């Protein structure tokens, strides 16, 4: 989605000279097209994420639309209080772009994993969170949300090649995207892990179980009604996210089921164990935490057979 | 301005009186002479950021004397559902940015100064930080950035009162060679008596040929104008020892309020 992000931002910036791209000294082999085309609106602030968000706050108050880029954990967690007291408290149109949600930074290890960004930022009402599942959806989502008057956080994947079957780039703020229908089980997911969930649904189908799949693409406005409607049609659901379990997608789905009194049993998959010092490529990490296609299929069988 | 600070601290029964009293001349210099702003809504006005947000009441006093804050609004200070809390909120007309968490103001100020440069505007940005606030690493992130980007339209003022919440700055983290530190970060520095309005105005208004951002180290006296506060004497709370930081937090008793007012009136 890195290419989709830069390409879309270049298109937006060509039509809107308020757009400024800032980076905390990251984005090698990604930022260049913007930097070359709009050198006066590209700003490498150095390795200083807190200052980057403070700067963005000052720029936005003066009428700019700053996009502040870094690896997800450095973009979201390091300057968390600056995000809260700056763009969120002032309701300014700062865009924060976090790259590599989940385990995409593989062997860079736990310091580089983005497994809390969405859950943590969901605690800030007033901050729209956008979590595209593939490049086409990222392009549409970035474009559609560019005019929002308040702040936006984008949790993006690095991989440019992912395509989530059935999504076709669709994005609607405050809505889920149903990418597959089926009556046996509901799968709910978000971000680049959606491709793995789609693969799990294929695998289930080959074993005679039809899964409905919903991709949650944003929070605030939360897609509450939409997801409630989706979950009201099934007896079993599994949520799958490359995030820790407090406050993320599983918690969101569980809250909807409880508050709406839905007759749907939910199993929430995600990162449940604390970091143990190990690292590995993304797919291996998914396997370790049981959120790869085989883990999902296994969980579905356990849930349904109970 | 000191009278407003004392009156409203007493009425609302809140502390942070010492840190408000020591920035009175700084805010007075800014709002009477330095800031170019026809109205708080003019997009091309100079910006001011009170990064040491705990002196919010001093800012309200300055805005009130400037005529930008109606008396009936000032009277809601620390009342129910008020926009005038201890720390200033940008939702209040006249407050450019919300502050309260130390170390954030100068980063925002650098962004505001950069924005002015990018928009080819001559507006300037003034940011008041405290000496203890320089403990925050983000202050130095902003300092580095402002010097590198030659933000000569940015003026930081360090309120050097030598105190912080739990002690003297020299005992907590010694930053006694503060001007030298700012110079090392590429800033133009001035040192002035923070209670001399004319010295502050001169320092903040004198044009410079330098491209460097400017910091004024303003030497101030905590609780300035009320001797028992300057000396850290908790007049009514005899169980407390005399300590310089007492008046960072203490609200005034009726007796203390009367003493403080009498002293102000004598010095007028």
CB-CB neighbors (< 8 A) of A96 in chain B: none
Q: What is the ipTM of this complex?
A: 0.95
User: What tens digit of pLDDT does each residue of B84-140 get?
Assistant: 999 999 999 999 999 999 999 999 999 999 999 999 999 999 999 999 999 999 999
In whole angstroms, what is the distance from residue A130 CA to residue A123 CA? 14
Q: Is the pLDDT of residue A306 over 80?
A: no
CB-CB neighbors (< 8 A) of A62 in chain B: 43, 111-112, 115-116, 119
Cβ distance A46 to B138 less than 8 Å, yes or no, reads: no
Q: Please choose, from the candidates B18, B25, B37, the residue with its C-alpha nearest in 3D space to the C-alpha of residue B1.
A: B25
Mean pLDDT of A32-55: 98
In whole angstroms, what is the distance from residue A284 CA to residue A286 CA? 5
- Please give the mean pLDDT across all residues of chain B: 96
Q: Is the pLDDT of residue B244 over 90?
A: no
Q: Is the pLDDT of residue A155 over 80?
A: yes
Q: Is the pLDDT of residue A129 over 90?
A: yes
- Which H or E run includes B3? helix B2-12
Task: Please report which confidence band the pLDDT of residue A238 belongs to, taking 50, 70 and 90 as the band edges.
Answer: very high
Cis status of the peptide bond prior to B47, with omega within 30 of 0:
no
Q: What's the half-sphere exposure (Cβ side, CA atoms, 13 Å) at A162?
A: 27
Cβ distance B113 to A58 less than 8 Å, yes or no, reads: yes
Q: Is the pLDDT of residue B176 over 90?
A: no
Mean pLDDT of A142-171: 97
Kindly state the percentage of chain B with pLDDT values over 70. Answer: 100
Mean pLDDT of B7-29: 96
pLDDT at B194 (0 to 100): 98
pLDDT at B260 (0 to 100): 97
Do the beta carbons of residue B205 and residue B181 sit within 8 Å?
no
Count, residues in chain A: 306
User: What tens digit of pLDDT does each residue of B162-173 get?
Assistant: 999 899 999 999
Pinpoint the alpha helices (H) of B185-226: 197-205
CB-CB neighbors (< 8 A) of B98 in chain A: 85, 89-90
- Which H or E run includes B216? strand B214-219
CB-CB neighbors (< 8 A) of B114 in chain A: 43, 55, 58-59
In whole angstroms, what is the distance from residue A65 CA to residue A142 CA? 13
In whole angstroms, what is the distance from residue A31 CA to residue B180 CA? 37
Using CB atoms, pick whichever of B100, B108, B138 lies closest to residue A58. B108
Using CB atoms, pick whichever of A50, A54, A59 lies closest to residue B115. A59
Q: Which residue is associated with the tokens 């409607």?
A: A229
**Three-class SS string for chain A?**
CHHHHHHHHHHHHHHCCCEEEEECCCCCCCCHHHHHHCHHHEEECCCCHHHHHHHHHHHHHCCCEEEEEEEHHHHHCCCHHHHHHHHHHHCCCCEEEEECEECCCHHHCHHHCECCHHHHHCCCCCCEEECCCCHHHHHHHHHHCCCCCCCEEEEECCCCCCCCCCCCCCCCCCCEEEEECCCCEEEEECHHHHHHHHHHHHHHHHCCCCEEEEEECEECCCCHHHHHHHHCCCCEEEEEEEEECCCCHHHHHHHHHHHHCCCCEEEEEEECCCCCCCCCCHHHHHHHCCCCHHHHHHHHHHHHHC
Phi, psi of B217, deg, nearest 5:
-85, 110
Using CB atoms, pick whichever of B43, B98, B115 lies closest to residue A85. B98
In whole angstroms, what is the distance from residue B201 CA to residue B206 CA? 8
Q: What is the SS3 assignment for B134?
A: helix
Dihedral class, residue B163 (left if φ above 0, else alpha if ψ from -120 to 50, else beta)? beta
Question: Nearest CA to CA, how far is B203 from chain A (Å)?
Answer: 24
Cβ distance A54 to B111 less than 8 Å, yes or no, reads: yes
Do the beta carbons of residue B195 and residue B230 sit within 8 Å?
no
Q: Is the pLDDT of residue A43 over 80?
A: yes
A46 in reach of chain B (CB within 8 A): yes
C-alpha Rg value of chain B to the nearest Å: 18
Q: Please choose, from the candidates A181, A103, A96, the residue with its C-alpha nearest in 3D space to the C-alpha of residue A145.
A: A96
């Amino acid at each position: 989605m890195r290419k989709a992000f830069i390409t879309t931002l270049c298109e937006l910036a060509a039509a809107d000279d308020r757009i400024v791209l800032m980076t905390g000294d990251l984005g090698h082999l990604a930022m260049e097209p913007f930097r070359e085309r709009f050198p006066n609106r590209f700003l490498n602030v150095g390795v200083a994420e807190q200052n980057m968000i403070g700067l963005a706050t000052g720029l936005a108050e003066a009428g700019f639309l700053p996009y502040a880029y870094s690896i997800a954990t450095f973009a979201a967690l390091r300057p968390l209080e600056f995000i809260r007291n700056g763009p969120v408290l002032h309701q300014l149109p700062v865009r924060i772009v976090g790259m590599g949600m989940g385990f995409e930074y593989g062997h860079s290890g736990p310091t580089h994993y983005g497994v809390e960004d969405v859950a943590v930022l969901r605690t800030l009402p007033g901050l729209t969170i956008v979590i595209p599942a593939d490049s086409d959806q990222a392009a549409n989502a970035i474009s559609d949300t560019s005019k929002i008057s308040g702040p936006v956080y984008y949790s993006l994947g690095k991989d440019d090649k992912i395509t989530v079957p059935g999504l076709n780039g669709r994005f609607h703020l405050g809505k889920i995207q149903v990418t597959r229908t089926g009556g046996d089980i509901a799968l709910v997911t978000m971000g680049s892990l959606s491709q793995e969930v789609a693969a799990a649904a294929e695998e289930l189908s080959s074993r005679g179980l039809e899964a409905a799949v919903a991709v949650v693409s944003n929070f605030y406005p939360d897609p509450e009604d939409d997801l409630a409607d989706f979950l009201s049609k099934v007896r079993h659901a599994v949520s799958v996210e490359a995030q820790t379990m407090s406050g993320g997608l599983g918690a969101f789905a569980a809250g909807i089921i409880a508050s709406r009194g839905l007759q749907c049993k939910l199993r929430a998959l995600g990162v449940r164990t604390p970091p143990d010092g190990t690292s590995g490529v993304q797919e291996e990490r998914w396997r370790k935490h049981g959120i790869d296609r085989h883990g999902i299929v296994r969980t579905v069988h356990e849930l349904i057979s109970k | 301005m000191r009278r407003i600070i004392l009156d409203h601290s007493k009425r609302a029964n809140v502390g942070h009186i010492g840190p408000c009293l020591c920035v009175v001349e700084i805010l007075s210099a800014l709002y009477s002479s330095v800031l170019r702003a026809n109205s708080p809504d003019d997009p091309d006005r100079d910006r001011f950021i009170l990064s040491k947000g705990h002196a919010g009441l001093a800012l309200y006093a300055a805005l009130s004397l400037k005529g930008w804050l109606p008396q009936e609004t000032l009277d809601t200070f620390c009342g129910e559902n008020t926009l005038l809390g201890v720390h200033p909120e940008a939702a209040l007309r006249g407050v450019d940015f919300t502050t309260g968490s130390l170390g954030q103001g100068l980063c925002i100020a650098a962004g505001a100064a950069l924005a002015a440069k990018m928009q080819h505007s001559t507006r300037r940005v003034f940011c008041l930080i405290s000496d203890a606030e320089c403990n925050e690493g983000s202050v130095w992130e902003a300092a580095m950035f402002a010097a590198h980007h030659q933000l000569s339209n940015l003026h930081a003022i360090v309120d050097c009162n030598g105190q912080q919440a739990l002690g003297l700055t020299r005992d907590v983290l010694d930053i006694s060679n503060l001007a030298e530190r700012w110079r090392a970060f590429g800033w133009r520095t001035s040192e002035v008596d923070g209670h001399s309005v004319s010295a502050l105005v001169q320092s903040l208004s004198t044009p410079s040929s330098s491209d460097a951002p400017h910091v004024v180290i303003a030497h101030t006296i905590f609780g300035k104008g009320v001797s028992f506060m300057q000396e850290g004497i908790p007049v009514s709370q005899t169980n407390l020892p005399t300590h310089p930081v007492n008046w960072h937090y203490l609200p005034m008793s009726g007796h203390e309020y009367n003493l403080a007012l009498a002293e102000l009136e004598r010095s007028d």
